[in-house]
Structure 1
C-alpha cells in the first residue's frame, strides 16, 4: 500500500485554449476539474495502476469539500485533516503547442495544532504502508523541517519514504535518509547550488544528494528522460513522446509508476518513464491508466550519456 501526503492540496481547473492572448476574451475548447496536489496525483495514478493507496491531506472550506468529493468519485480512499483555512484553487491554461500557463494560489496557513494533526494522521496510516510518498510544497505555517519530522515518524513505523519536494524542505529532510527523492532538473540544480547543462552534470548532482543522505535519486530531466542513481548503480531511461498536451502531474505520474513497480532498480525506472511519457499526452492533470502506457517504447540503459547536453538546461 502506498500512502501519500499532500500538505498543500488544491482544486485544479484546467482550460484548453486555441491561444492565450493577454487582455483578450479567450474561449476555451476544453475544461477539466480535478483534485490536485502532487501527492493526490500520485494516489490517483497508483490507484489507476491497481495498487492500494491512501491519501492524507488537509482540507478546508468549500474547495476542500469538492476535493474530497472528487477523490471519492475516483475511488481514492482519503484521510482528510480538517483545517480552518480554505483549500487553494489553481488554474492551468494549456495551448495546442504544449505551452502551459499556471496560476497557483498560496493556500491556507496551517496552525501548529493542524500541523501536528497532519503528522499524527500520517503516522497512523504508515503502520500499514509499504511506501509513504511526501509530495509538494509546504503550506504557510509548516517549517522546512516538517518533512524531516514526517520521515522520521514514517521510518519508525517501518515504511519507506519517497520525497518529492524542493528547496529548504528537501535539504532538511535528507538528514532522515529518505529512500528515494524525486527532483526535476531545476530542483536538482537548486539543491546543489549550480547549473546543470549535461546529463553528466545531473549525475554528479544526484550523487551529491546521495552523499547528503538520500538513498536513491530519481531525477526527471524533461524531454531528455529520467535518471536513477541508487545502490544498483546509474540508469538512464527515455521514451518517445508524440503530442504534448499537458505536463501537469507528469512527474507525479512518474513517481507513481516507480513506486508501483517496487521503487528500486531499472525495472522501476522503466515504469516511471512509461507513466511520465503517457501523462504528458493526456489533458490537464489526467493520470494515465495501464491502457495509456507503452512499455515497449521505453529504453533503459546503464550506459548513461554523460556528455549529452540537456534540451532544457537548469540554471
Structure 2
C-alpha cells in the first residue's frame, strides 16, 4: 500500500481557452473541477490503475468539504483531518498548444496543533504502507523541516519515503536521506543553484541531490523526458506527446507510475514516462487509467551529456 500526505490540498479548476490575452475578456471552451494537491493526484493515478493507496489530507470550510466530496466520487481512500482554515482553490488556464498558466493560492495556515494532528493521522496509517509519499508545498505555519522529520521517523521504521517538494522544504528533506526525491527541472535548478541547459548538467544536478542525501532521484524534464539516478547508475528516457492538453498533475502521474512500476531501475522509469505522457494528453488534472497509457511510445536511451534541453520545463 502507498500512503500519501498532502498538507496543502486544493480544488483545481482547469479552464481551456483559445489564447491568453492580458486585459481582455476571454471565452472558455470547457472547464472542469478536480480534487488537487500532489499527494492527492498520486493517489488518484494509483487508484485509476488499481494500485492500493490512501491519502491523508487536512480540510477546512466549504471548499474542504467539496474536496472530500470529489475524492469520494472518485473512490479515493481518504484519512481527513479537519482544520480551522479554508482549503485553497487553484486555477489553470490551458491553451491549445499545451501552454498552461497556473494561479495557485498559498493555502491556509496550520496551527502547531493541527500540524501535529495531521502527523499523528499519517503515523497511525503508515503501519500498513510500503511507501510514504510526502509531496507538495508547505502551507503557512508548517515548519520547513516537516518532511525531513517525517522522513526520519518513517525511515527508522523501515518504510520507504518519497519526497516531491521544492525550495527550502526539499533541501531540508534531503538531510533525512529519503529513498526517493522527484524534482522537475526548475526544482533541480533551485536546489543546486544552477539551471541545467544540457542533459549532462541535469544529470550532474541530480547527482548533487544524491550527494546531499537522497538515495535516488527521479527528475522530470518536461518535453525532454526524465532521468533516474540511483545506486551509481543513470537512466534517461522519453515519451513524446504529439498533442499535449494539460501538464497539470503530470509529474504526480510520473511519480505514481514509478512506484507502481517497482520503484527501481529502467522498468520503473519506463512506467513513469508512460503514465506522465498519458496524463499530458488528458484535460485538466485528470489521471490516466489503463486505457490511456501507451507504453509503446516510451524510449529508454543512452544519455548524451551534450544534448541541449528545451527551454522551459
> After TM superposition, is the score higher than 0.5?
yes
Give per-residue Cα distances to partners, 1:178-232, cap 9 Å, x unaligned.
Answer: 1110000110011111121100001111111111110000000111100000016
Q: Which residue of 2 aligns with 1:179?
A: 179
Q: Which residue of 1 aligns with 2:309?
A: 310
Q: How many residues align?
A: 313
**CA-CA distance at 1:25 after TM superposition:** 2.3
Give per-residue Cα distances to partners, 1:104-138, cap 9 Å, x unaligned.
Answer: 11110000000111111111111111111111100
Q: Which residue of 2 aligns with 1:219?
A: 219
Contact 1:134 1:164 in 2 (8 A): yes
Partner Cα distance (1:253, 1:293) in 2: 11
**CA-CA distance at 1:240 after TM superposition:** 1.7
Q: Which residue of 2 aligns with 1:32?
A: 32
Contact 1:196 1:313 in 2 (8 A): no
SS at match of 1:310: coil
SS at match of 1:123: helix
SS at match of 1:93: strand
Contact 1:127 1:158 in 2 (8 A): no
**CA-CA distance at 1:157 after TM superposition:** 3.2
SS at match of 1:142: coil
SS at match of 1:127: helix
**CA-CA distance at 1:313 after TM superposition:** 6.0
Q: Which residue of 2 aligns with 1:250?
A: 250
1:228 aligns with 2:220: no
Give per-residue Cα distances to partners, 1:122-173, cap 9 Å, x unaligned.
Answer: 1111111111111110000011101111112222333211110011111111
1:70-85, aligned counterparts within 5 Å?
Answer: 70-85=70-85
Partner Cα distance (2:243, 2:80) in 1: 36
Partner Cα distance (1:224, 1:284) in 2: 21
SS at match of 2:189: helix
Q: Which residue of 1 aligns with 2:49?
A: 49
Partner Cα distance (2:197, 2:101) in 1: 25
Contact 1:247 1:279 in 2 (8 A): yes
Between 1:187-196 and 1:16-25, the stretch displaced more is: 16-25
Partner Cα distance (1:37, 1:148) in 2: 19
Partner Cα distance (1:300, 1:17) in 2: 34
SS at match of 2:89: strand
Contact 1:248 1:285 in 2 (8 A): yes
**CA-CA distance at 1:176 after TM superposition:** 1.2
Partner Cα distance (2:167, 2:102) in 1: 20
Q: Which residue of 1 aligns with 2:134?
A: 134
Contact 1:63 1:86 in 2 (8 A): yes
Q: Which residue of 2 aligns with 1:203?
A: 203
Partner Cα distance (1:185, 1:138) in 2: 20
SS at match of 2:309: strand
Partner Cα distance (1:20, 1:194) in 2: 30
Q: Which residue of 2 aligns with 1:267?
A: 267
| C-alpha RMSD of matched pairs (Å) | 1.1
**CA-CA distance at 1:307 after TM superposition:** 0.8
Partner Cα distance (1:232, 1:173) in 2: 21
Partner Cα distance (2:212, 2:102) in 1: 32
Unaligned runs of 5+ in 2: none
1:38-187, aligned counterparts within 5 Å?
Answer: 38-187=38-187
**CA-CA distance at 1:250 after TM superposition:** 0.5
Partner Cα distance (1:101, 1:267) in 2: 32
